[in-house]
């Protein structure tokens, strides 16, 4: 059997894959089994933050692999402790819980908010307010948090205690907080899977004010927006707020599985021995990769991300076949006249791999993508969109 046939026979059918088998890559280029090379504008859904096989990242990971690959959380290890310190110093948060994915990072955030509120306000205070059109993960609890009904069908009953309010609607948020015994408010700074839609500054600031006033932990889901993706270290930093809990994952370890839940002053000691855990959490190889990534996300680097973002926006805004461009930093959604799926297919033929989100073409390239690769991609996407529009 071919690799495609093996996969289709034996791997659970949860993903509709593109007809491409990727075998290798370097930086922002990947090569398929037929030897064709593509510019990678997806970086494994915003995970390979410094592209494929970044030399410094690889050296850090291999060095740790040569020492010890796993210890469990019964013992101390350097990469875990150093990464936690880096995360806290760069955000002002106080403690970190490590897991292995975005959903788990959110699961921990929700547990921390519920325990804080149960201890302070009683066991009836458990409702978590999230936003419509949000995405927070695939476990039964993070699905319940996700404000998109089509993910919920046939998986009932989900974890109870979640209400969803319209994004950017301050009155709807005030109403939900008045009507429910609210234990936490959870939101993405830019709704990623929902179509790359940034929240308004007024809404994020109002949410932070309401949360502060009512002693409700404010949780920011930075699984996709975190670790430099939006041109700031974390997406919330665009809004001048200080969350109580931040969850992150995707790009943090440059391609290795990791989740992190950052706990601020309010909730710094809410999780005690036995309250939560993860066998793989804080894995030294994953943490060594993350230290390599995070320590390089400094002001100068983030300024380059913002410059590349401005370049993409300026080239795509108003381009033929392009209706709108949304997002922040190198997290970009493009509404094309032709259906996004068709544009992505045509881009693939032309040697550019893109993602979709709802009805948008979505770009999440490596944060250090070379200008020449970025140029090729932003020339190719409108070209593909224009050609398809010509067909209809
Ligand atoms: C991807 C994503 C998740 C889920 O992360 P997994 O690692 O797939 O569990 C949660 N929240 C947001 C905002 C995401 O983009």
What is the residue extent of each domain of the chain? 3-54+298-390, 57-294
Test site for ligand 1: of 46, 193, 229, 255, most ligand atoms within 8 A of the Cβ? 193
Mean predicted confidence (pLDDT) in 332-349: 97
pLDDT at 36: 98
- CA end-to-end span of the chain, whole Å? 38
Mean predicted confidence (pLDDT) in 339-346: 97
61 lines ligand 1 (CB under 6 A): no
In angstroms, the CA 325 to CA 332 distance is 7
107 lines ligand 1 (CB under 6 A): no
pLDDT at 126: 98
In angstroms, the CA 316 to CA 196 distance is 15
Test site for ligand 1: of 99, 107, 167, 224, most ligand atoms within 8 A of the Cβ? 224
Return the CA Rg of the chain: 21
> Is the pLDDT confidence value at 378 over 60?
yes
223 lines ligand 1 (CB under 6 A): yes
- Give the angle 303-218-173 at the CA atoms, nearest 5°: 105
220 lines ligand 1 (CB under 6 A): no
Of the pLDDT bands very low, low, confident and very high (cuts 50, 70, 90), residue 389 is: confident
Mean predicted confidence (pLDDT) in 323-331: 98
pLDDT at 149: 93
pLDDT tens profile 224-259: 999 999 999 999 999 999 999 999 999 999 999 999
The chain-wide mean pLDDT, for the chain, equals 97
Atom of ligand 1 nearest to the CA of 191: 13
pLDDT at 390: 64
Class of domain 3-54+298-390 (CATH, top level) = alpha beta
C-alpha 134 – ligand 1 centre gap (Å) = 10
Q: Which CATH number fits domain 57-294: 3.40.50.920, 3.40.220.10, 3.40.50.10540, 3.40.640.10?
A: 3.40.640.10
Using DSSP bridges, classify how beta strands 197-198 and 190-191 pair: parallel, antiparallel or unpaired. Answer: antiparallel
pLDDT tens profile 264-280: 999 999 999 999 999 99
| pLDDT > 90 fraction of the chain, expressed in percent and rounded | 99
Are 3-54+298-390 and 57-294 equal in CATH topology?
no
In angstroms, the CA 299 to CA 302 distance is 5
pLDDT tens profile 30-73: 999 999 999 999 999 999 999 999 999 999 999 999 999 999 99
pLDDT tens profile 14-26: 999 999 999 999 9
247 lines ligand 1 (CB under 6 A): no
Q: Model-level pTM?
A: 0.98
pLDDT tens profile 131-152: 999 999 999 999 999 999 999 9
pLDDT at 369: 98
C-alpha 320 – ligand 1 centre gap (Å) = 32
Atom of ligand 1 nearest to the CA of 139: 9
pLDDT at 213: 98
Q: Which residue in 115, 49, 147, 107 sits closest to 260, CA to CA?
A: 107
Atom of ligand 1 nearest to the CA of 188: 13
């Amino acid at each position: 059997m071919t690799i495609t046939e093996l996969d289709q026979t034996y791997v659970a059918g949860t993903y509709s894959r593109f007809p491409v088998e990727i075998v290798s890559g370097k930086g922002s280029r990947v090569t398929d089994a037929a030897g064709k090379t593509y510019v990678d504008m997806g970086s494994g859904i915003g995970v390979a933050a410094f592209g494929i096989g970044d030399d410094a990242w690889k050296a850090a990971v291999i060095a740790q692999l040569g020492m010890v690959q796993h210890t469990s959380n019964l013992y101390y290890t350097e990469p875990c402790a150093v990464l936690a310190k880096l995360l806290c110093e760069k955000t002002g948060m106080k403690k970190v819980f490590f897991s292995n994915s975005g959903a788990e990072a959110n699961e921990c955030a929700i547990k921390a908010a519920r325990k804080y509120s149960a201890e302070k306000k009683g066991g009836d205070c458990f409702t978590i307010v999230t936003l419509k059109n949000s995405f927070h993960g695939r476990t039964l609890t993070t699905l319940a948090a996700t404000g998109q009904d089509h993910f919920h069908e046939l998986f009932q009953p989900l974890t109870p205690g979640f209400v969803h309010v319209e994004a950017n609607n301050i009155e709807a948020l005030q109403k939900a907080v008045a009507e429910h015994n609210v234990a936490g408010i959870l939101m993405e700074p830019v709704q990623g899977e929902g179509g790359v839609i940034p929240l308004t500054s007024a809404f994020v600031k109002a949410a932070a004010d309401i949360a502060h006033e009512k002693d409700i932990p404010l949780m920011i889901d930075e699984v996709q927006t975190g670790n430099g993706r939006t041109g700031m270290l974390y997406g919330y930093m665009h809004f001048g707020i200080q969350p109580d809990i931040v969850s992150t994952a995707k790009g943090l370890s440059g391609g290795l599985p990791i989740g992190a839940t950052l706990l601020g002053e309010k909730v710094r000691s809410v999780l005690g021995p036995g309250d939560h855990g993860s066998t793989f959490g804080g894995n030294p190889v994953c943490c060594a990769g993350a230290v390599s990534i995070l320590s390089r996300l400094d002001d100068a680097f983030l300024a380059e991300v913002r410059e590349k973002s401005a370049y993409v926006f300026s080239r795509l805004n108003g381009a033929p076949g392009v209706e709108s461009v949304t997002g922040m930093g190198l997290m970009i959604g493009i509404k094309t006249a032709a259906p996004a799926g068709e544009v992505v297919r045509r881009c693939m033929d032309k040697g550019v791999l893109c993602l979709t989100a709802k009805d948008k073409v979505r770009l999440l390239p490596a944060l250090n993508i070379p200008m020449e690769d970025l140029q090729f991609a932003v020339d190719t996407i409108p070209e593909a969109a224009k050609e398809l529009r010509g067909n209809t």
